[in-house]
Amino acid sequence: MEEKQAFNPFLPEYEYIPDGEPHVFGDRVYVYGSHDKFGAPMFCVNDYVCWSASVDDLKSWSFEGVIYRKRQDPKNRLGLRLLFAPDVARGKDGRYYLYYAFDFMGMMGVAVSDRPCGPFQFYGHVCYPEGEIWGRKKEDAFPFDPGIFVDDDGKVYLYSGFYTPVPSIVTGFRKLKFEGGYMVELQEDMKTIKKAPIVLFPKKGSGAFQNHEFFEASSMRKINGKYYFIYSSRHNHEICYAVGEKPDGKFEFGGTLVSNGDLFLNGNTNENHASNYIGNIHGSILQLKERYYVFYHRHTNRSSYARQACAEELVMRADGSFEQAEMTSCGLNGGPLKGNGRYEARIACNLWANGGETGRYDCRNPKKRFKKHPYFTQDRKDGDERARQYIANMQNGAMAGFKYFEIKKLSRISVCVRGNAKGKIYVSVLVDEKNKIAEIPIESKGGKWKWWTANAVSDMGIKALYFQFEGDGNLDFLEFELEE
């Protein structure tokens, strides 16, 4: 049997799980995230689901089903409010507690289950000892993006916060605080506030992380006795971390873990020439023995509302700091992909238009702004397991990059495309390389997928592959095949 490989995104092509929080419970890794709906005009329209994998095999993920529905919370019986990024922790009683915030409502709910994969039942709202819900008092800190953490001594810490003030009409006409990242200690019941919220990660002024100030996406991990706070910075496309000696003490900025445009990597800070189309980001760290991974999401469909789960392996330095991870097509594979076989174009980790142009999907009218740009999309409605994902609208100069392959003796490369176009697809192992390893002639008409082939010559080694269309018209790109 042919050995299974892992790709980015690591879940099926029809699945849209952003804001992934990976946790190990028993012998499995569970990923809890928001649930986007393909084609929706807003984030997180669907109910929560869960995916899991064996700690010994991150290449095979199993669907655990719907674990919590919007309507289960008595404050949302009509299902009008949306379930944003969740987190899960195991309490001292051995049960599993799911934390969530209803969009920008300013209220945090808790659900509980005897199993890490649910289903979860409504348990209550994070509240003060007298019973008043956190976020309902005037001048409360804004509850948002919960990061729940149970320390080795059993103490329970909840991290939260959002950079941008939300209009009071959304929060029930309550004026709430937006000072940065907050920490609140909870009682053993996992929902009652023990100590009032404090600002641990100010968004400005003294204590703020210059040029990487806190924005949202709080998460906490304990690694080798130290506390790693993971968050999304005001740049919105990068997951950062800070390190402290105590869960409620002073933290020092550590660096960038990953950017969904590879920005800050190799000195590139130009958002209009990122390695992919960027937008909001949220994720955290997974530790498996001596290996570390960062989970994050990418954006598709020229939208901020169709995000997919990705992951990369992290390199920890001797001093406990992390190198910034590069976006790849082979994130959880444990090494490069095989240099032969058939691959889907949707696993491209780099994508841009002519001249290397990209941009932010959270701009105004992104479909108009990126009308001439390539993008990831699918051919069926949301939730249809028959959906095929592909790269659409590759016009002259558009390029898709795939990293990495172990090339031994490459002889031919084929591409499966459709559209109305005439020209060539050039394949190279470096973005700026003039000597291409293959030139594939294309003369496509209509909506049927068709294969085109050319001979290829490449040196041995671990290589990236870049596919660039040059010609007239536009193409959709479904698959490619490498032959030794």
pLDDT band of residue 1 (cuts 50, 70, 90) is low
Claim to verify: residue 408 and residue 290 sit in the same structural domain: no
Domain count, the chain: 2
pLDDT at residue 89 greater than cutoff 60: yes
pLDDT band of residue 249 (cuts 50, 70, 90) is very high
Residue 4 lies in a domain: no
Residue where a domain stops, chosen among 287, 303, 334: 334
Claim to verify: residue 126 and residue 214 sit in the same structural domain: yes
Residue 108 lies in a domain: yes
Give the per-residue pLDDT at 172. 81
Residue 322 lies in a domain: yes
Claim to verify: residue 303 and residue 447 sit in the same structural domain: no
Claim to verify: residue 174 and residue 32 sit in the same structural domain: yes
Residue 226 lies in a domain: yes
The whole-angstrom separation of Cα 128 and Cα 132 is 5
Residue 11 lies in a domain: no
Claim to verify: residue 389 and residue 298 sit in the same structural domain: no
Claim to verify: residue 260 and residue 273 sit in the same structural domain: yes
pLDDT at residue 434 greater than cutoff 90: no
User: What percent of the chain is predicted at pLDDT more than 70?
Assistant: 99
Active site residue 3: no
Claim to verify: residue 315 and residue 343 sit in the same structural domain: no
Contacts with 156 (C-beta within 8 Å, 6 or more apart), sequence order: 89, 91, 148, 149, 150, 185, 186, 187, 188, 190, 194
pLDDT digits (tens, 9 = 90+) for 441-462: 999 998 899 999 999 998 899 9
Active site residue 216: yes
Residue 30 lies in a domain: yes
Claim to verify: residue 411 and residue 318 sit in the same structural domain: no
pLDDT band of residue 3 (cuts 50, 70, 90) is confident
Claim to verify: residue 460 and residue 353 sit in the same structural domain: yes
pLDDT digits (tens, 9 = 90+) for 259-288: 999 999 999 999 999 999 999 999 999 999
Residue 221 lies in a domain: yes
Residue where a domain stops, chosen among 315, 334, 353: 334
Instruction: Check which CATH number belongs to the domain holding 58 and give it.
Output: 2.115.10.20
Instruction: Check which CATH number belongs to the domain holding 395 and give it.
Output: 2.60.120.260
pLDDT digits (tens, 9 = 90+) for 313-359: 999 999 999 999 999 999 999 999 999 999 999 999 999 999 999 99
Is the pTM higher than 0.85? The answer reads yes
Q: Mean of the pLDDT values across residues 293-313?
A: 98
Residue where a domain stops, chosen among 304, 334, 364: 334
Specify the residue for token string 């939208």.
Answer: 303
Claim to verify: residue 152 and residue 296 sit in the same structural domain: yes
pLDDT at residue 435 greater than cutoff 80: no
Chain mean pLDDT for the chain: 96
Residue 3 lies in a domain: no
- 13, 15, 19, 64: which one is catalytic? 19
- Write the secondary structure of the chain as one string of H (helix), E (strand) and C (coil): CCCCCCCCCCCCCCCCCCCCEEEEECCEEEEECCCCCCCCCCCCCCCEEEEEEECCEEEEEEEEEEEECHHHCHHHCCCCCCECCCEEEECCCCCEEEEEEECCCCCEEEEEECCCCCCCEEEEECECCCCCECCCCCCCECCCCCEEEECCCCCEEEEEECCCCCCCCCCCCCCCECCEEEEEEECCCCCEEEEEEEEEEECCCCCCCCCCCEEEEEEEEEECCEEEEEEEECCCCEEEEEEECCCCCCEEEEEEEEECCCCCHHHCCCHHHCCCCECCCCCEEEEECCEEEEEEEEECCCCCCCEEEEEEEECECCCCCECCCCCCCCCCCCCCEECCEEEEHHHCCEEECHHHCCCECCCCCHHHHCCCCCEEEECCCCCCCCCCEEEEEECCCCEEEEEEEEECCCCEEEEEEEEEEEEEEEEECCCCCCCCCEEEEEEECCCCCEEEEEECCCCCEEEEEEEEEEEEEEEEEEEEEEEC
Claim to verify: residue 70 and residue 166 sit in the same structural domain: yes
pLDDT digits (tens, 9 = 90+) for 369-417: 999 999 999 999 999 999 999 999 999 999 999 999 999 999 999 999 9
Claim to verify: residue 319 and residue 343 sit in the same structural domain: no
Give the per-residue pLDDT at 174. 86
Phi/psi at 305 (5° precision): -115, 15
- 36, 103, 216, 312: which one is catalytic? 216
Domain span at 124: 18-334
